[in-house]
Amino acid sequence: MTVSGKGQRIGYVRVSTLDQNTERQLEGVDLDRVFTDTASGKDTDRPQLQSLLAYAREGDTIVVHSMDRLARNVDDLRRLVQEQTRRGIRVQFIKGDLLFTGEESATANLMLTVLGAFAEFERALIKERQREGIALAKQRGVYRGRRKKLTPERVAELRARAAKEKKAGLAREFGISRETLYQYLREPEKAEAECSTS
């Protein structure tokens, strides 16, 4: 599909928790609109990503800081990029200065797959090192797991206020993700135990 006209530049930002800085990913990049997800990248079923894909039109450019912000595995990455470029939507990654338009050569498509595979492999190595570090710390008897996010008193306050206030604002104030907030609201005691042992 041929890209025609001057479309919008639409940014996509993904962070794993509300504690992470969303502004640094596309800082200084000229954009018409930005969609931001606070979610894991384990799959593409993210609300703001889906909103962006529904919003983008032929001639637009989706701008993302890096491949791993858009997708966490090679299959999802390749599928997302190819689906959008078939619609006449460009996909640009700031890191590496990569732009995919749908008119790439076989070499460019191979590069997309290889770079995505390297990113996936790097994440796997990091997780493996984390697991090894935890195992060694447990052997030495110094591993304590994650600290509890909220005290029982804060959980009680959270539950009382959640009936009247917006969940996103509360999550920011309490320094937790929305997913953790909902865990506390459903089963606060279980959530606390999971946070202290995971």
Q: DSSP characters for 155-166?
A: HHHHHHHHTTS-
Q: Which helix (H) or strand (E) holds 33?
A: strand 33-38
Domain spanning 9-114, CATH class: alpha beta
Q: pLDDT per position in the chain (198 positions), as tens? A: 334 447 999 999 998 765 566 667 898 899 999 999 988 777 788 999 999 999 999 999 999 999 889 988 888 888 899 899 999 999 999 988 889 988 766 666 777 778 777 777 776 777 777 777 777 777 777 666 655 578 888 888 888 898 888 888 888 888 888 888 888 888 645 544 555 544
Contact between 45 and 59 under an 8 Å Cβ cutoff? The reply is no
Identity of the amino acid at 39: A
Residue 64, SS3?
Answer: strand
User: Would strands 61-64 and 9-15 be described as parallel, antiparallel, or unpaired?
Assistant: parallel
Given 4, 16, 40, 66, the catalytic residue: 16
Whether 16 is a known active-site residue: answer: yes
